[in-house]
Amino acid sequence: MELFQDTCQSIVERNKEIEHIVAERWDEASSASGYGRLVSVVAQYAAATEQVEVSIPKPCMVIASADHGVARMGVSAYPMETTVGMTQNYLIPKGAGANALANYCGADMEILDMGIAADMSWVPGLRSHKLGMATKNFLEEPAMTREQAIEGIEVGIALVQEKVAQGYNVFLVGEMGIANTTSSALMTAKFAGLTAEEATGRGSNISDERLKVKQRIIHDTLVKYEHIDKNDGLGILASVGGFEFACIVGVILGAAATKSLVIIDGFNTSACALVAKNLVPASLEYVMASHLSAEKAAKASLENLGLSAYVDLGLCLGEASGGSVQMGMLDLAVHMYIALRGGQQ
């Protein structure tokens, strides 16, 4: 609890003066208007990391894995055991799309078990921070306690502190957990005031029949927790969120407190950013959007955050996929900025 409170209290707005300096220097080197949003990408990165002399980013991809109790109700096209298979794939054969994308954008990977419903001690390199063997089925009872939510947030904060000490300054956040879009749909609906129909997407490309089941469950769960105020971010996370989401909230808060940048991915990580925004509005100063997820309420989620996507590729993969594309864009933009200024950093 102390780490959580201290972190929240230490977050301040990013340095807007640096933002202006970078934009002016770009314009002096070559008309900034022709480079569009690439200028703002570099300016936000520089301001968030407090670099008047902009350096090449050092990114760390953080993927948090956990299972959801509601998965047993048939809201996904895949069984809960898929979380085990995908998580070990990041670290043993290293053949997941996330691995390829991490290699593409030059990010080192950290994979966390926040609550997979299986023994994962056999997976080398997996950070184990289990808050439970999957969350509770939130249609029956809250997904987790507030204490578990805070513990998960503190795991994310501590990881950021560790990696910042090693020189990392950009964090790409991703998630793995069957049924997690059911959680994120609920979280987004609560924060943005959406109906179940407006918030419910196909997630893992579920059938029409499963979509009706998922929508009904989201509707009934919204009714069950209608007493929770939209301004109670911690309460929303604990009631309908996931253990992996708690960790990602912590990464966002930890990055803001340590003057680092976070690139969110799609719908799930946007829901985490909504929690962080509720807890500490200034934390969003350190969050950069990436792509527009194919999920139904993705646009509403970004609008509620006050962010806009940089690309629209129709992705619905999660696992920091869109964030990796944006990281590549950030790296390119920084290299362009330095080159335009004659190699001056």
Average pLDDT over residues 301-320: 91
Given this model, what pLDDT does residue 342 score? 83
With b meaning 16 or more CB within 10 Å and e meaning fewer, what string describes 322-339? bbbbbbbbbbebbebbbe
**pLDDT value at 328 more than 60:** yes
Query: Distance (Å, rounded) from C-alpha 220 to C-alpha 225?
Result: 9
pTM, entire model: 0.97
Query: Distance (Å, rounded) from C-alpha 18 to C-alpha 54?
Result: 10
CB contact at 8 A, 175 and 245: yes
**pLDDT value at 32 more than 80:** no
The maximal CA–CA distance of the chain, rounded, in angstroms, is 61
Pairing between β-strand 59-66 and β-strand 108-115 as defined by DSSP bridges: parallel
- The first and second tokens of residue 228, run together, are 């929770």
**pLDDT value at 203 more than 90:** no
30-34, 166-170, 249-253, 307-311: which range is least confident on average? 30-34
Instruction: Name the amino acid, one letter, at 165.
Output: A
Given this model, what pLDDT does residue 317 score? 82
Given this model, what pLDDT does residue 318 score? 84
Within-domain flag for 12: no
**128 DSSP β-pair partners:** 113
Query: Distance (Å, rounded) from C-alpha 65 to C-alpha 209?
Result: 27
Query: Distance (Å, rounded) from C-alpha 143 to C-alpha 69?
Result: 8
Angle between helices 2-10 and 243-257 (to 10 degrees): 50
Q: How confident is the model at residue 345 (pLDDT cuts 50, 70, 90)?
A: low
Within-domain flag for 207: yes
Given this model, what pLDDT does residue 204 score? 76
CB contact at 8 A, 243 and 113: no
- Average confidence score pLDDT of the chain: 95
Query: Distance (Å, rounded) from C-alpha 221 to C-alpha 292?
Result: 26
The percent of residues in the chain predicted with pLDDT above 90, rounded, is 89
**pLDDT value at 212 more than 60:** yes
Given this model, what pLDDT does residue 49 score? 98
pLDDT digits (tens, 9 = 90+) for 225-275: 999 999 999 999 999 999 999 999 999 999 999 999 999 999 999 999 999
pLDDT digits (tens, 9 = 90+) for 60-118: 999 999 999 999 998 998 999 999 999 999 999 999 999 999 999 999 999 999 999 99
Within-domain flag for 24: no
Alpha-carbon torsion (43, 46, 52, 58), positive or negative: negative
Within-domain flag for 338: no
Query: Distance (Å, rounded) from C-alpha 301 to C-alpha 313?
Result: 17
Query: Distance (Å, rounded) from C-alpha 344 to C-alpha 71?
Result: 52
Residue 60 sits at φ, ψ, to 5 deg, of -125, 125
Query: Distance (Å, rounded) from C-alpha 56 to C-alpha 87?
Result: 29
Within-domain flag for 278: yes
CB contact at 8 A, 333 and 114: no
Given this model, what pLDDT does residue 343 score? 72
Within-domain flag for 20: no
Count: domains in the chain: 1
CATH number for position 136: 3.40.50.10210
Long-range contacts of 310-315 (CB under 8 A, 24+ apart): 310/37, 310/41, 315/266, 315/291
SS3 340: helix
Range of the structural domain that residue 189 is part of: 57-329
Given this model, what pLDDT does residue 31 score? 77
Given this model, what pLDDT does residue 344 score? 61
**pLDDT value at 33 more than 90:** no
Terminal alpha carbon distance of the chain: 39
Give me the active site residues, please.
319
pLDDT digits (tens, 9 = 90+) for 329-338: 999 999 999 9
Within-domain flag for 11: no
CA-CA distances (angstroms) from residue 93 to 60, 115, 119?
Answer: 20, 22, 19
Given this model, what pLDDT does residue 34 score? 86
CA-CA distances (angstroms) from residue 156 to 29, 130, 144, 265?
Answer: 39, 13, 17, 16
Within-domain flag for 246: yes
Q: How confident is the model at residue 157 (pLDDT cuts 50, 70, 90)?
A: very high
Average pLDDT over residues 297-318: 92
CB contact at 8 A, 80 and 67: yes
